Amino acid sequence: AKKNSKGSYEIYNDQYGMSIERRFQMLSELKLSIYNKELVCYYQPQYDYDKKAVVGFESLARWNSKKFGMVPPLQFIELAEETGFIKQLGRFMINQAFAFAKSISDPGICVSFNASPIELMQADFTDYVIERFCYYELEPESVAIEITESCLIESFDDVVKKLKILTDCGISIYLDDFGTGFSSLSYLKELPIHAVKIDKSFIDNIVSDRVRRDIVDMIIRLAHRLNLKVIAEGVETKEQAQCISECGCNLIQGYYISKPVPGEEAIAFLDELKTG
Ligand code: C2E
Ligand code: CA
Ligand code: CA
Ligand code: CA
């Protein structure tokens, strides 16, 4: 408990220092966010720096609450995870991402969505994803799931089994935030994944920090040797993009290319690149 500005005590119980009361209010708003059309899906391009072409989009949830304003995703995702609302939120995002993937006429573009460990643990997760994949009549390799290493702690074999079912259906798997977790490089070859996403924290000081650059260079080489694609996340400058490219990684995602944007803007971005 912590004394607040009004001199009374509030109980804090998460990293954002939200009081129980605020969390409760936020949760009741969050539960209505889909119905109230406050929850929307943004898309951030994934870009081939050598070919100068968009190869994919990552779907990212945005909550513009009437009551709380723009709420940071990490904040409402955590709230959703702790309260079970993540299932509905996740399903909403899957439908948005799949409909968006369907609306893109260009072949070879893959739309990814994030799945939290809690979603992956649900018994009906794979059935749902596959049912939706069929419903939207999507091409193989046109959608991907981004999972984090924390998904693997609970039951490695069980998760691998689920991922295999998804890949058998033509859905790609990306390992997100790579390098930040418990990162045993040795399990990489056991996983049915198509790409690793190098976390932004590795990209941040890649230009100035020689040791960082060597680590990133090594990760990229290893991943490529295991036949995995590598996407560098959080690339903000031309210098970072060039540095990453010199390390052998041509796939980048970050503000240098584009911030996450609404669907129509993402499509416009795609069309603009094509017409030059
Ligand atoms: P993430 O999956 O690692 O997503 C990448 C985050 O980096 C996004 O933050 C994106 O906006 C941000 N980003 C991308 N490029 C740059 C850059 O150049 N500079 C900077 N400073 N940031 C960049 P965002 O959208 O705030 O999402 C934060 C996290 O919330 C995501 O991290 C993901 O873990 C979670 N999240 C977002 N949407 C969903 C969702 O639909 N489902 C689940 N389960 N998690 C989600
Ligand atoms: Ca992600
Ligand atoms: Ca990430
Ligand atoms: Ca992250």
The model's pLDDT over 99-115, given as tens digits with 9 standing for 90+, comes to 999 999 898 999 999 99
**What is the per-residue pLDDT across 34-51, written as a single tens digit (0 to 9) for each?**
999 999 999 999 999 999
Residues 190, 182, 251, CA angle at the centre, nearest 5°?
70
Percentage of the chain exceeding pLDDT 90: 81
Mean pLDDT of 176-181: 86
**pLDDT at residue 155, as a whole number:** 83
pLDDT mean over 132-156 = 93
Higher pLDDT, 190 or 115: 115
27 or 2: which leads in pLDDT: 27
pLDDT in tens, 90-101: 999 999 999 999
Q: With a 6 A CB cut-off, is 45 part of the ligand 1 pocket?
A: no
CA of 4 to the centre of ligand 2 (A): 35
What ligand 1 atom has the least distance to the C-alpha of 42?
A: 25
Q: What is the pTM of this model?
A: 0.94
Q: 3-class DSSP state for residue 61?
A: strand
Stretch 234-245: mean pLDDT: 97
59 band by pLDDT with thresholds 50, 70 and 90: very high
Which alpha helices (H) appear in 136-259, and where do they start and end?
A: 151-154, 156-168, 200-204, 210-225, 238-246
77 lines ligand 1 (CB under 6 A): yes
Nearest ligand 1 atom to the CA of 146 is 2
Determine the average pLDDT of the residues in 47-56. 96
Average pLDDT over residues 225-251: 97
Mean pLDDT of 112-129: 96
Mean pLDDT of 155-165: 92
Q: Is the pLDDT of residue 222 over 50?
A: yes
Q: pLDDT class for 1, splitting at 50, 70, 90? A: very low
44-53, 115-124, 131-140, 177-186: least confidently modelled range: 177-186
How far is the C-alpha of 64 from the C-alpha of 61, rounded, in Å?
10
Amino acid 130: pLDDT: 98
**Could you tell me if the CB of 255 is within 6 A of ligand 1?**
yes
State the distance from the centre of ligand 2 to the C-alpha of 65, rounded, in angstroms.
22
Residue 9 alpha carbon to ligand 3 centre in Å: 36
For the chain, give percent helix, strand, coil, nearest 5: 45, 25, 30
What are the start-end ranges of the H helices in 39-190?
Answer: 73-83, 86-103, 117-121, 125-135, 151-154, 156-168
Is the pLDDT at 225 greater than 60, yes or no?
yes
Cα of 152 vs centre of ligand 2, distance in Å, is 16
What is the structure's pLDDT at 276? 76
Token pair 């006429």 is at which residue? Answer: 105
Q: Is the CB of residue 176 below 6 angstroms from any atom belonging to ligand 1?
A: yes
Look at 57-61, 64-68, 146-150 and tell me which has the smallest mean pLDDT: 146-150
Taking the centre of ligand 1 as the mean of its atom positions, its distance from the CA of residue 248, in whole angstroms, is: 24
Q: Using a 6 Å cutoff on CB, does residue 41 contact ligand 1?
A: no
- pLDDT: which is higher, 104 or 21: 104
Q: Give yes or no for a contact between 178 and 198, defined as CB atoms under 8 angstroms apart.
A: yes
What is the pLDDT, as a whole number, of residue 215? 92
pLDDT band at 17 (very low <50, low <70, confident <90, very high): low
Q: What is the ipTM of this complex?
A: 0.98
CA torsion through residues 265, 268, 273, 276, sign: negative
CA distance 108 to 55: 7
